[in-house]
Amino acid sequence: MKPVRLDRLLGGMGYGSRQEIAKLARVGGITLDGRDLTDAAQKIAPTPDLPGRMTIDGHPVDPPPGLVILLNKPLGMTCSHKEDGALVYDVLPSRWRRRDPAISTVGRLDKQTSGLLLLTDDGDLLHRIISPRRHVAKVYRAGLARPLEGHEAALFASGELVLEGEDKPLAPAVLERIGPTEARLTVHEGRYHQVRRMFAAAGNHVETLHRERMGGLTVPDDLAPGDWRLLTPDESARVFEEPPV
């Protein structure tokens, strides 16, 4: 990775203005490989191993640009930077709101949908994941107001279902019946409120909705609602894998 000035690197990671970073460096608040960095103009390569090599006030530095976050989104949180109420960004370190490039959600889950949500500051990765050409599978578990009638799987798999207000049919989707009023649905698109609107088109209403999987990624069993973890590049790449059948 191309080296960048220390003050520019840390400023873009939300640690303060360039002047604030320079002041911190002068008083010995920044170390790299155990040595003080006193010159804020020194160029540093923003490699993924930087948190293990650099400290700020004795704490490991945050990951450089290119981070990917897996969040177990709880109910009641909005995937927005601007709306009122609880936001998914509230669970992240506050300085991360000042990062440049900014951290954004990879697609959205509405306020009443829980489960796997990815966030990243890697714009290229974000667009590759949400691109219709990639066909990244998203698996949802839906609790329904009324029992399934038996026609839903064929309707969703037909490739002919047109949602209200649209004119382009949905790509085929796979429905797995879990119980009389519970189903697992695998889709490869990301249209607005798609799963809720699909069941509405089938004459039902979604009461609960939880995203279990994106590609080969699932929420770890030890990750409670509202908790998050950083993914390694190898883990992030699993989003492009097909879920097991």
Give the residue numbers annotated as catalytic, written as ranges: 110
Q: Answer yes or no: is pLDDT of 26 > 70.
A: yes
For residue 245, the model assigns a pLDDT of 67
Q: What's the predicted TM-score (pTM) here?
A: 0.93
More confident residue, 244 or 64: 64
How does pLDDT run across 146-164, given as a tens digit for each residue? Answer: 999 999 999 999 999 999 9
**Percent of the chain residues topping a pLDDT of 70:** 100
Q: Answer yes or no: is pLDDT of 242 > 90.
A: no
Task: Determine the average pLDDT of the residues in 167-188.
Answer: 97
Report d(CA 188, CA 197) in Å as an integer.
15
For residue 84, the model assigns a pLDDT of 82
For residue 244, the model assigns a pLDDT of 77
Q: Answer yes or no: is pLDDT of 1 > 90.
A: no
Q: Answer yes or no: is pLDDT of 60 > 70.
A: yes
Report d(CA 212, CA 186) in Å as an integer.
10
Report d(CA 233, CA 242) in Å as an integer.
17
Task: Determine the average pLDDT of the residues in 124-152.
Answer: 95
Mean of the per-residue pLDDT values of the chain: 95
How does pLDDT run across 74-119, given as a tens digit for each residue? Answer: 999 999 887 788 999 999 999 999 999 999 999 999 999 999 999 9
CA dist 21 → 50, 61, 76, 206, 235 (Å): 17, 13, 36, 50, 32
87 DSSP 8-state letter: B
For residue 163, the model assigns a pLDDT of 96
Query: Residues for the chain: how many in total?
Result: 245
Confidence of residue 59 (pLDDT cuts 50, 70, 90): very high
Nearest to 193 by CA among 218, 217, 163, 172: 163
Phi then psi for residue 174, to 5 deg, are: -110, 125
